[in-house]
A and B are shown apart, each in its own frame.
Chain A
Amino acid sequence: MSNSELIAVLESDAPQKEKADACRQLARTGTKEAVPVLAAMLGDEKLSHMARYALEPIPDPAVDDALRDALGKLNGRPLVGAIGSIGVRRDAAAVEPLSKMLAHADADVARVTAGALGKIATADAAKAVGQALGDVPAARRPAVAEACLACAEALLAADKGSEAAAMYRAVDKADLPKHFGVAAKYGLLQAQKPAGTP
């Protein structure tokens, strides 16, 4: 089927299976034209995931706009999913709205938000998770700490060793399971290596 025909299936009263299959195909071939109809499905509990299944790989910034726009409209699992897809797409423009969701009442929303910020890993994302590390309750701290580790890795890859080291030290000092300390200490060693050391 052509993309137009697939979009028509999504706009019709077709059964869930047919719409899911249309989403699978759009994941391979979909373009900007499919984004509005897929975005409209994000709040549908039964189709939200398949809408993201199609949206996530479409290489058009309209997808990022749609997912960001959905943040303020969704709740529960659809919101968790939208945040997850934003993370996969590494949408730097989403850092500001995501930063406000690190303290979300829904634990899954908060967890996936931290993960998304860790994947985006810009300086602003690093700042957001670094600040949250000292604020979040103990049960949520591991997810935020892993985001800090991910951001530190990105800083290290960008030759910002001193900033990476600061993040590793923050994780090392936080009250966390011991494997986080192992990870932070190892990262700190990498960050403090003299330039040119393999």
Chain B
Amino acid sequence: MSQRHTPNEVRASATPEPMRPRVTRRQFLRRTAAAGGLIAVPYLIPASALGQDGNVAPSERITLGGIGIGGRGSGVLNWMMAEKDVQFLAVCDPQKSRREKVKQMVDKRYGNQDCAVYKDTPEFLATRDDIDAMLITTGDRWHATMSVMAMRAGKDVYSEKPSCMTIAEGQAVVETANRFRRIYQTGTQRLSEAKFILANELLRTGRLGKLHTVRAHIAPWDAAEMRHDWLPEQPLPSADEVNWDAWLGPCPWRPYNAAYCRGGWRGHYDFHTSCIGEWGAHTFAQCHVAIGATDTSPVEYGYVDNPTGDGMVTRFANGVKMILHRGDKWWHGSCGVRYEGTEGWVAVADGYSKPEASSPALLADFEKIVRDYTDRTGHPTSHVRDLFDSVKSRRPTVANPEVMYRSMTTVHAANICMWLKRDLKYDPAKAEFVDDAEANRLRSRAMREPWII
């Protein structure tokens, strides 16, 4: 993995030197010893830094950077820093309070002051060629654009969900990842959780019989129709405190209001993907993977005359229905999925210790089935571990770009169906709605300059 630089060394180099040969820690120590006439490396280096006592030597660690890390991102970052072969080096955020909070958290964990901070993403990406992978946990509006920018800079990416604002953004993520052979993981963690894996495996192995229906939970807050109003204008802070232009990124300009930066962006059309995207990013991805629809999306979307999309029936080309549900009729937890076949059903949601099923016999081999899954696929039951294993092996993650793009296309198509208040047909191969010019216009949004990818 990448060699380490101190923040000062990196900042002193304003121009990226991408072709500079990388020096491993061991090479560095050898050269230093030779230059100083030493015959041995210093003996006071702690064992942990040398990779002893079960630790991984710094030169072998995956180097990680972060962009836009807030509350949710801090949780993911803590999971990532718990991995022994990962070293977090630097954070970038247009908000001073957030980047400083992350630095404090990282420095406290490592017991040093080494976490570098940046406020300008292009500079961050251009100068830190020592960073292998990027954790992107901005607001939704930036996920895809930032992922593309990071992959163009040679980084592997973990992006929080919903990972694209439009169908076109999803395509751009796939295209860039394929072009540069980058590893990408969208933050649909349930694809790596044992109880959800069990449900998928019961379906895949035919124990539910012939599948006919999957049900996907959508969030119980917000509506499918989103806000277009502007919050009242407030005095703009200094660019160092909040760089509002960078915060908005590719979205249409609007006047500053601090509430946006405190999470109040949710529910606004420019920044959010509605109640359908909020949980559908998870549950649709679950369903897509469960039924093997990782290279397609439903071809039909039935409009429902309510504010949320509750009860919308979508249909895949093979006839399988995916039905959107709000509330607790089918689950007693969040982000639930339910698969129904001719021989039985299985349902699972957050808060379950194990899935519920039509027959206890279906759940009898829970641990073995999950173990067989990990043996067969190589995907562990840890979402962040799956990313880091893939960074090393270059094998696609469980929540790879195509999974993200196809499941988020389903989110966007369902939203568009609700916005236009009519049934839609979609051609997944052409990535276009059938005979509906207005729907097709909603597949992309012009990006605000200069944040054009």
Task: Beyond the given A115-B453, A183-B180, please list 11 additional residue pairs across the A-B interface where CB-CB is below 8 A.
Answer: A17-B230, A27-B441, A28-B441, A49-B448, A55-B446, A80-B449, A88-B444, A108-B450, A150-B179, A177-B16, A182-B181
Beta-carbon contact of A177 and B18 below 8 Å:
yes
Beta-carbon contact of A186 and B441 below 8 Å:
no
- The yes or no answer to A64 lying at the interface (CB within 8 A) is no
- The yes or no answer to B263 lying at the interface (CB within 8 A) is no
Contact partner of B448 (CB less than 8 A), chosen from A81, A112, A183, is: A81
Beta-carbon contact of B442 and A77 below 8 Å:
no
Which residue of chain B is the closest to A80 with respect to CB atoms? Answer: B449
Beta-carbon contact of A176 and B19 below 8 Å:
yes
- The yes or no answer to A7 lying at the interface (CB within 8 A) is no
- Cα-based distance from A180 to B179 in the complex (angstroms): 9
The winner among A78, A84, A186 for most chain B CB atoms within 10 A is A84
Beta-carbon contact of A77 and B450 below 8 Å:
yes
Q: How large is the interface on A (under 10, 10 to 19, 20 to 34, 35 or more residues)?
A: 35 or more
Beta-carbon contact of A56 and B129 below 8 Å:
no
Beta-carbon contact of B253 and A49 below 8 Å:
yes
B424-453 vs A, Cβ < 8 Å mask (1 yes, 0 no): 000000000000011011101111111011
Nearest 10 pairs of A and B residues by beta carbon = A177-B18, A179-B154, A84-B452, A81-B449, A57-B441, A80-B449, A56-B446, A53-B446, A52-B446, A108-B450
- Assuming the A-B contacts A24-B228, A85-B446, A115-B453, are A59 and B252 also in contact, with contact meaning beta carbons closer than 8 angstroms in the complex? no
Q: Which residues of A line the B interface, CB within 8 A?
A: 17, 20-21, 24, 27-29, 46, 48-50, 52-53, 55-57, 59, 77-78, 80-81, 84-85, 87-88, 108, 112, 115, 138-139, 142, 146, 149-150, 153, 175-180, 182-183, 186
A residues within 8 A CB of B207? none
Beta-carbon contact of B19 and A178 below 8 Å:
yes
- Assuming the A-B contacts A49-B253, A56-B444, A183-B180, are A80 and B19 also in contact, with contact meaning beta carbons closer than 8 angstroms in the complex? no
A residues within 8 A CB of B15? 138-139
A residues within 8 A CB of B453? 115
Report the minimal beta-carbon distance from B64 to chain A, rounded to whole angstroms. Answer: 17
- The yes or no answer to B30 lying at the interface (CB within 8 A) is no
- Assuming the A-B contacts A80-B452, A88-B444, are A21 and B228 also in contact, with contact meaning beta carbons closer than 8 angstroms in the complex? yes
- Cα-based distance from A53 to B444 in the complex (angstroms): 10
B residues within 8 A CB of A53? 252, 445-446
Report the minimal beta-carbon distance from B314 to chain A, rounded to whole angstroms. Answer: 22
A residues within 8 A CB of B154? 177-179
- Cα-based distance from A87 to B444 in the complex (angstroms): 13
10 CB-based A-B contacts, threshold 8 Å:
A27-B441, A27-B445, A28-B438, A49-B253, A56-B444, A57-B441, A59-B437, A80-B449, A177-B154, A179-B182
- Cα-based distance from A99 to B447 in the complex (angstroms): 22
Which residue of chain B is the closest to A29 with respect to CB atoms? Answer: B438
Which residue of chain B is the closest to A30 with respect to CB atoms? Answer: B441
Q: How large is the interface on B (under 10, 10 to 19, 20 to 34, 35 or more residues)?
A: 20 to 34
- The yes or no answer to B11 lying at the interface (CB within 8 A) is no
Contact partner of A186 (CB less than 8 A), chosen from B181, B228, B230, B253, is: B181
Which residue of chain B is the closest to A143 with respect to CB atoms? Answer: B152
Report the minimal beta-carbon distance from B383 to chain A, rounded to whole angstroms. Answer: 24
Report the minimal beta-carbon distance from A82 to chain B, rounded to whole angstroms. Answer: 9
- Cα-based distance from A85 to B453 in the complex (angstroms): 11
Beta-carbon contact of A146 and B152 below 8 Å:
yes
Which residue of chain B is the closest to A58 with respect to CB atoms? Answer: B441
Beta-carbon contact of B18 and A50 below 8 Å:
no
Beta-carbon contact of A50 and B252 below 8 Å:
yes
B145-163 vs A, Cβ < 8 Å mask (1 yes, 0 no): 0000000111000000000
Which residue of chain B is the closest to A185 with respect to CB atoms? Answer: B181
- Cα-based distance from A142 to B153 in the complex (angstroms): 9
Contact partner of A49 (CB less than 8 A), chosen from B230, B438, B449, is: B449
Which residue of chain A is the closest to B182 with respect to CB atoms? Answer: A179
Report the minimal beta-carbon distance from B72 to chain A, rounded to whole angstroms. Answer: 28
Which residue of chain B is the closest to A177 with respect to CB atoms? Answer: B18
The winner among A20, A88, A178, A179 for most chain B CB atoms within 10 A is A179
The winner among B179, B180, B230, B440 for most chain A CB atoms within 10 A is B179
The winner among B153, B230, B446, B453 for most chain A CB atoms within 10 A is B446
Contact partner of A153 (CB less than 8 A), chosen from B152, B179, B448, is: B179
